[in-house]
Chain A
Amino acid sequence: MSDGYHSRQSFLGEDLPEVLNRTRIAVVGVSGGGSHVVQQTAHIGFQNQSLFDPDIIKDVNLHRHVGATRADVEAQRPKVELGERVIRNLWPAAEVRAFQKRWQDAVEELREVDLIFACLDGIRARLDLEATARRYLIPLIDIGLGLNPVGKDGKLMSGQVALSMPGGPCLRCMQLLTEQELADEAKHAGGYEGFGPAPQVVWANGVLASTAVGVAVDLLTGWNTLAHAKPSLRLQYVGNSCQVHPFRPSPWPDRRCDHYPEREVGDP
């Protein structure tokens, strides 16, 4: 890495190269949101990445999967392979572990990372991933996007970026991953009534992913020392008005989690 590479991001701290070198991140779900995360983290300089996604790229993904091409669709390339390509085009010697499988089938790999980006559809999948992250004391950044009917014809596009820190409030404490949503998921088998498969759009995914990467960089470098300007644990995106704001003023930063006791750590 040349000395000039980080000159425009040197405000992130003089030990940035060391942080980038030693930090291992996982991107679980390398599709709409995940493809943005891989792209941005690669550009920042994160060269040690573990990617998890069982799917191949298809025509229906092209409208939102950054870095994907029609040739990739024709070649039926795995999504993780596209992610690896993005990283290696910047860092040929990067340490990339690409798993074309569900993270549950490679969980031993996941335990060794320093940070997880959860870019998954599905409530149950995110709940289970967070439970694993908590067991192995790994911070997790969850990204989600939804489109919901409002009134007769209206649609509300909203999403969130939530940081789940071991010892701190979990996604359920933050009122994400509710029992009602789990029940709806089981009932509708993952689709949204009236909207077909879960809606995804590149610009909204980009906003959420960029926000998540910003949260991650602050977490890993501590560059942001302004106490009054720390990102909230849960950030809400309102797609209709193109705004990101803290979910609400909350007691979460000081609140211990009731769902994950401190001693519930390690293998069961």
Chain B
Amino acid sequence: MSWTLRITEALVKRMRRDLQRRHEFAGERVGFLMTKIGNQHSANMKLVLGVDYWPVPDDSYINDPSVGARYEASVHRGLMERAHAENLGMFHVHAHEHGGCPHFSGIDLDCIEKLVPSLRTVQPRQAHGALLFSHDDMAAACWLPEKQGPAGGGRVVVVGRPIWSRTMEEYDV
């Protein structure tokens, strides 16, 4: 089954602005895009809609120079509570410092692969996954409800002037 992640340009700008802020010690910032599936009953294509963005708070990062960003377990707990209480999907968001099409690293996918099952336990009806920005592009991986592994055949659409759209590569985890 294919999927389309639709996000407004305003929300994308908000995410980019947040991720660009310097942190006292963390090498990179992380946030979470909250989403909802807009066509639960469709058998052809799942429409995933960007609803809001929640940045990891400054004081939730852990000082660990061996990784780009590490944060407290309470962040995931909060994430799962919100996903359950507000019927939301969650997409881990971060940025790589380069131009051109970004690609999830092995570490990125490993982290997301550990996060998604927890989210699915508390919120099985929504899609979960990850979004990755470069300076001028983005990539996404999406786990659809009831499907094993990240779904192929996906597309991200940024609704702005002009509309930006990219077909996503398939990921194996």
Contact = CB atoms under 8 A, between A and B. Distances in A.
A266 B37 contact: yes
8 contacts: A111-B39, A137-B8, A167-B8, A167-B9, A219-B163, A262-B8, A265-B36, A265-B50
Nearest to A136: B38
Contacts of B6: 136-137
Interface in A117-138: 135-138
Contacts of A114: 157, 163, 165
Interface of B: 4, 6-11, 36-42, 44-45, 47, 49-52, 155, 157, 159-163, 165, 167
Contacts of B52: 262-263
B38 A218 contact: no
A22 B162 contact: no
Nearest to B39: A111
A167 B158 CA distance: 12
Contact of B47 (A19, A115, A136, A222): A136
A258 interface: no
A169 to B, nearest CB: 12
Interface residues of A, number: 27
Greatest chain B CB density within 10 A among A115, A139, A267 is at A267
B84 to A, nearest CB: 16
A266 B36 CA distance: 6
Secondary structure dominating the interface of B: strand
A172 B51 CA distance: 22
Contact of B162 (A108, A138, A220, A266): A220
Contacts of B11: 167, 262
A108 B159 contact: no
A22 B165 contact: yes
A263 B37 CA distance: 13
A22 B48 CA distance: 17
Contacts of B7: 137
A219 B161 contact: yes
Contacts of B42: 108, 112
Pick the most buried of A111, A219, A265: most chain B CB atoms within 10 A of its CB. A265
A165 interface: yes
B155 A22 contact: yes
Closest 10 interchain pairs by CB? Answer: A222-B162, A266-B36, A167-B8, A137-B6, A167-B10, A136-B38, A266-B38, A265-B49, A265-B51, A111-B39
Contacts of A262: 8, 10-11, 51-52
A137 B49 contact: yes
Interface in A242-268: 262-263, 265-267
A11 B155 CA distance: 25
A9 B157 CA distance: 24
A23 B8 CA distance: 17
A108 B51 CA distance: 19
Contacts of A115: 163
Given A220-B162, A263-B51, 5 more contacts: A111-B38, A230-B161, A265-B49, A265-B50, A266-B49
A100 interface: no
A137 B160 CA distance: 10
A266 B51 contact: yes
Contacts of B160: 165
A19 B167 CA distance: 11
Contacts of A220: 162-163
Given A111-B38, A112-B39, A266-B38, A167 B159 contact: yes
Contact of B159 (A166, A218, A266): A166
